[in-house]
Amino acid sequence: MPGLDDLYREIILDHYRSPRNRGELPPPATHAVGHNPLCGDEIEVYLDVRDGVVHDIKVGGQGCSISQSSASMMSQAVKGKTVDEVRALVHRFKSMMSIEELDDADASVEVKLGDLEALQGVVKFPVRIKCAVLSWNTLTEALSQATP
């Protein structure tokens, strides 16, 4: 069995303990809520997108260490990026979680996961992949509201 050290890396616990970008944004920021129907976890994402750039993001809701730290790291990673860069990052993250595949064209684009690499161990615990991906699905939802 993979050890818990693979899952609960220090940086994950750090984001869980002190989540970044917690809070809300007033309209016209878009707002999406994601649920994990299996465990009742809930993530809210507020997104301020102007001129094709994510100017600000705030995250709310509650959940386990994996869903919360993933949301926190995600919020750091997308802030200031263009919508296209964010979409590429979502795709890269989901492929790290083994739920999307990278083709050659994707692979040639440079996308830095940074701290998010720490979540790689989640793949060894398939039940937890849903936790890690919840905030990213919610982000995608908020993004599509912002860029209809």
Partner 1 sequence: MTALDVASIRKEFPILSREIDGQPLVYLDSANTSQKPRAVIDAMVRCMEYSYAPINRSAYRLAAEATDAFEGARSAVRRFVNAPKAHELVFTKNATEALNLVAFSWGRANLGRGDVVVLTHMEHHANIVPWHMLAAERGIELRWVPLTPDGQLDLTDLPRLLDGAKAFSFTAMSNVLGTITPVRELCAAAHQAGAIAIVDGCQYVPHNVTDVQAWDADFLAFSSHKLCGPSGIGVLWGRESLLDAMPPFLGGGNMIADVRLDGFTTAELPAKFEAGTPPIVEAIGLGAAIEFLEGIGMTEIRRHEMQVADYALRTLTERFGDDITIHGPTNVEVRGATFSFAFRGIHPHDLSQVLDQRNVCVRAGHHCAKPLMRVLGASATARASFYLYNDESEVDVLADALDSATDIFGF
User: What are the residues binding partner 1 (CB under 8 A)?
Assistant: 1, 4, 7-8, 13, 17, 38-42, 62-66, 125, 128, 131
Q: 30 to each of 49, 99, 147, how far by Cα in Å?
A: 8, 26, 10
Rounded CA separation 124/38 (Å):
19
| CB nearer to partner 1: pick between 40 and 148 | 40
For residues 90 and 63, the answer to whether their CB atoms sit within 8 Å is no
| CB nearer to partner 1: pick between 43 and 47 | 43
Smallest distance from partner 1 to CB 62, Å: 6
Smallest distance from partner 1 to CB 32, Å: 18
SS3 105: helix
Smallest distance from partner 1 to CB 58, Å: 20
| CB nearer to partner 1: pick between 38 and 105 | 38
CA angle 115, 22, 146 (to 5 degrees): 90
